[in-house]
Amino acid sequence: MDDPATPFRLPLIAILRGITPAEVADHVGVLVEEGYDAIEIPTNSPDWARSVALAVGAFADRARIGAGTLLEPAQVDALIEAGGTLGVTPNVRPAVIRHAVARGLPLVSGVATPSEAFDALEAGAPMLKLFPAAVYGPAMVRALRSVLPPPVPLFAVGGITPDTLPVYLSAGCQGVGIGGELYRAGQTAEHTRTQAQRFRDAWMGHTA
């Protein structure tokens, strides 16, 4: 089921922290095969821009490939140069948000409080993520959702599991970002596939 509030067919942002250029095609390939169309390669991964470029070259017609842990405008430029079409920040950095917006890059800004959420929106962020979600829990999602403009997509990121995913969706999230429960550096592509299927099934079971 597509959610018109997000630019993704499957609003599960797959986070491949620690992926290397040698591995990226295999892991992004299985994610795309499982229906994922939002892939994040964090900037603290080895040679992250090269991984983005390789994934874009192979899968740009089927998924948005982007980078997370964007902390400065120069990383936004490097991401766009690599062909990336999605940016994610861990926190509110107005300079990064404004730069991404000016360059036409869809951005998900990390927030932890209502004040940060509105600061991010004021800077132009089109999407928000509660991070780290497992620390704040679904009660914070409900609190944020009660004051945020209804069209603003809100993602829960940080510690999400297949079992807790439906809880965050019920609390008011339009989607989630999944990291350590989906991918850990060095694991096989088939393990990534198995975990991707678990999360997708949890999503589909909630939205059916």
Task: Look up 40 and say whether it is catalytic.
Answer: yes
Q: How far apart are CA 161 and CA 159, in angstroms?
A: 6
Secondary structure (H, E, C), 82-100: CCCCEEECCCCCHHHHHHH
The residue among 139, 171, 178, 161 whose CA lies nearest residue 39 is 178
Pick the catalytic residue from 23, 81, 122, 129: 129
Q: How far apart are CA 204 and CA 1, in angstroms?
A: 8
Pick the catalytic residue from 23, 34, 40, 81: 40
Task: Look up 190 and say whether it is catalytic.
Answer: no
Q: What does the block give as tokens for 49?
A: 């821009």
First to last CA, the chain: 8
Tell me the DSSP string of 126-174: SEEEETTHHHHHHHHHHHHHHHS-TTS-EEEESS--TTTHHHHHHHT-S
Q: What does the block give as tokens for 108?
A: 């998900």
Q: How far apart are CA 50 and CA 53, in angstroms?
A: 5
Kindly state the helix (H) or strand (E) to which residue 13 belongs, with its residue range.
Answer: strand 12-15
Active-site amino acid positions = 40, 129
